[in-house]
Amino acid sequence: DAGVIQSPRHEVTEMGQEVTLRCKPISGHNSLFWYRQTMMRGLELLIYFNNNVPIDDSGMPEDRFSAKMPNASFSTLKIQPSEPRDSAVYFCASSFDGYNGYTFGSGTRLTVV
């Protein structure tokens, strides 16, 4: 089992550019979560999916953020346009039915300059 796979590991981009973060959940897991971690705000849940359907996107900071899960093995988090305050570590996690065993990916460290 390769675990939750996120790409890229690091991303540096200029303000105003579009950024796409990718996640491949563990096979068989039907819940997928996107978190953002900053020193100031800690770990924040941005959005989560169950069976590829977005269930709760109340944590998405603004319309510049969007997330999709076109199939059970792939999800994207897009920021357009990016701003310096979006700089953070973005984690993807997956779980079977949102219960035990939430597994996190290694994270994407995003820097917007």
Partner 1 sequence: AQKITQTQPGMFVQEKEAVTLDCTYDTSDQSYGLFWYKQPSSGEMIFLIYQGSYDEQNATEGRYSLNFQKARKSANLVISASQLGDSAMYFCAMREGGSSNTGKLIFGQGTTLQVKP
Residues that bind partner 1 (CB under 8 A): 31, 33, 42-43, 45, 48, 50, 55-56, 89, 91, 93, 95, 97-104, 106-107, 109
Rank residues 87 and 106 by Cβ distance to partner 1 and give the closer one: 106
| Residue 52: closest CA among 79, 78, 25 | 25
CB burial readout 37-65, b (16+ within 10 A) else e? eeeeeeeebbbbbbeeeeeeeeebeeeeb
Q: 60, 46 in Cβ contact below 8 A?
A: yes
State the minimum distance, in angstroms, from the CB of residue 110 to partner 1: 13
Cis peptide bond upstream of 8, omega within 30? yes
State the minimum distance, in angstroms, from the CB of residue 15 to partner 1: 24
Rank residues 65 and 91 by Cβ distance to partner 1 and give the closer one: 91
Rank residues 27 and 51 by Cβ distance to partner 1 and give the closer one: 51
State the minimum distance, in angstroms, from the CB of residue 49 to partner 1: 10
